[in-house]
Amino acid sequence: MKILVINAGSSSLKYQVFDMDHETVLCKGGCERIGIPDSFMTHKHADGRKKEYKQDMKDHGDAIRLVFQALTDPEIGVVKHMDEIGAVGHRVLHGGEKFTASTIVNEAVKEGIREVIPLGPLHNPANLKGIEACEQAMPGVPQVAVFDTAFHQTMPRRAYMYALPYEYYTKYMVRRYGFHGSSHRYVSAEAARLCGREGDPEFKVVTCHLGNGSSFAAVKGGKCVDTSMGITPLEGIPMGTRSGSIDPAILEYVMDKTGMDIHEMTNVLNKKSGMLGLSGVSSDFRDLEKGMEEGDDRCAMARGVFVYQGRKLIASYAAAMGGVDCVVFTAGVGENDGDVRQRMVEGLEFMGISIDPERNNVRGKVAELSPEGARVKVLMIPTNEELVIARDTLALVTASQK
């Protein structure tokens, strides 16, 4: 079966088509500037050819129609007719407490996604638009929603409750949800397979998803028991432009000093903090590394804060699980930045965690980084959230047709 995977953002829409008979990617691409002047789409065929479509997209419906045009383009497309696409899998940011697993979309599911819009105000409406645009453009083709939060729903109450008045939880859904769930699920399952511990309820992994957004998860026996992002993706380790966890009293203090209102303050925490705020140079770890090499002390400081906070999370998650068998690095920074990986585990030798510098000289492919015979395996596993979405979509659609 051919499956279309859609990841809709507020003004963008990324897509991939999988041939699930071989789990290969046939093409991928993305629409940018949806609803903004000068929108365009880039389409890449698996054979390396590319085509850019400069076309006005006033909404996600226009974007989906342009995606269909590219998929059936005689020059660079991958199907003759859209009816060759058997199902569509959608990445949905927030599933609240309602969605503990991926699900076939129906009216009740759409209503459920709508109910938690207050928790994902930018993404959930875009995800719904993506689903509705596909429903209109390909009626009858099954749509599946795969939630970023679902994998973390196994966390125990002690891990997900904030110590706030209890009615904030019961009335306003305030609790830790966690994100990057498909990524943590994929790399923790791969780690269990690579370590020969599939199905072992005692296998304990700390997964470090380090990208532009970064999150950690403690996964025991294949189930998430804790994660670093919270009710929104702002909590946890500092990120590209997000502050991560800070003393909440800073908000009132800085707002008093600057005259910012709460929306401006939140915007600073999301868009102007993290690596960008600390370095004053960039949110991109490549730029920070270059800056550091050229003697820029603030670039060095930003990377230092990042690796230190990450190291504390790895150790605290080992404590949360009563031990650790494996640490996994993944995503843009985790897969490419050996210096971050090496320094993040520095000082954790007492827990059996270390990285062999020679083995660490690797990029973008599965690799064992820990020294031969180490008590804790440190692995680098490239993440593949789109494949998780395609696999879930295939499994649900196949089961529903039986």
> Which amino acids are annotated catalytic?
148
Q: Measured in whole angstroms, how far is the alpha carbon of residue 9 from the centre of its chain?
A: 13
State how far the Cα of 58 lies from the Cα of 138, in Å rounded to an integer.
Answer: 19
State how far the Cα of 335 lies from the Cα of 329, in Å rounded to an integer.
Answer: 7
Closest CB 114 distance from ligand AMP, rounded Å = 27
Closest CB 295 distance from ligand AMP, rounded Å = 19
Among 19, 56, 115, 284, binds ligand AMP (CB under 6 A): 284
Closest CB 214 distance from ligand AMP, rounded Å = 8
Among 18, 68, 160, 285, binds ligand AMP (CB under 6 A): 285
Which of the ranges 125-133, 243-251, 278-286, 307-315 carries the binding residues for ligand AMP, by CB under 6 A? Answer: 278-286
Q: Does residue 9 interact with ligand AMP by CB under 6 A?
A: no
Closest Cα partner for 366 from 392, 334, 393? Answer: 334
Which of the ranges 85-93, 198-206, 245-253, 283-291 carries the binding residues for ligand AMP, by CB under 6 A? Answer: 283-291
Q: Does residue 212 interact with ligand AMP by CB under 6 A?
A: yes
Q: Give 119-153 as a DSSP string.
A: GSTTHHHHHHHHHHHHHHHSTTS-EEEEESSGGGG
Q: Does residue 211 interact with ligand AMP by CB under 6 A?
A: yes
CA distances in angstroms from 389 to 16, 65, 182, 186, 227, listed in the order given: 10, 21, 8, 10, 20
C-alpha distance across the termini of the chain, in Å: 15
Report the SS3 class of residue 377: strand
Closest CB 401 distance from ligand AMP, rounded Å = 34
Q: Write each residue from 331 to 360 as x if it is in contact with ligand AMP (CB under 6 A), else as -, in one continuous string.
A: xxx--xx-----------------------
Residue pair 28/6 in contact (Cβ under 8 Å)? The answer is: no
Residues 6+ apart with CB under 8 A from 132: 60, 61, 110
Q: Does residue 240 interact with ligand AMP by CB under 6 A?
A: yes
What are the tokens at 121? 């105000």
State how far the Cα of 234 lies from the Cα of 177, in Å rounded to an integer.
Answer: 12
* Residue with Cβ nearer ligand AMP (368 or 385): 385
- Residues 298-337 touching ligand AMP, rule: CB under 6 A, are 331-333, 336-337
Closest CB 400 distance from ligand AMP, rounded Å = 32
Give the containing element (helix H, strand E) for 171.
Answer: helix 166-172
Residue nearest to ligand AMP (CB): 332
Q: Which residues pair with 379 in a beta bridge?
A: 328, 368
Residue pair 369/360 in contact (Cβ under 8 Å)? The answer is: yes
Among 286, 312, 357, 371, binds ligand AMP (CB under 6 A): 286
- Residues 47-76 touching ligand AMP, rule: CB under 6 A, are none
* Residue with Cβ nearer ligand AMP (15 or 99): 15
What residues make contact with ligand AMP under the rule CB under 6 A? 211-212, 240, 284-286, 331-333, 336-337
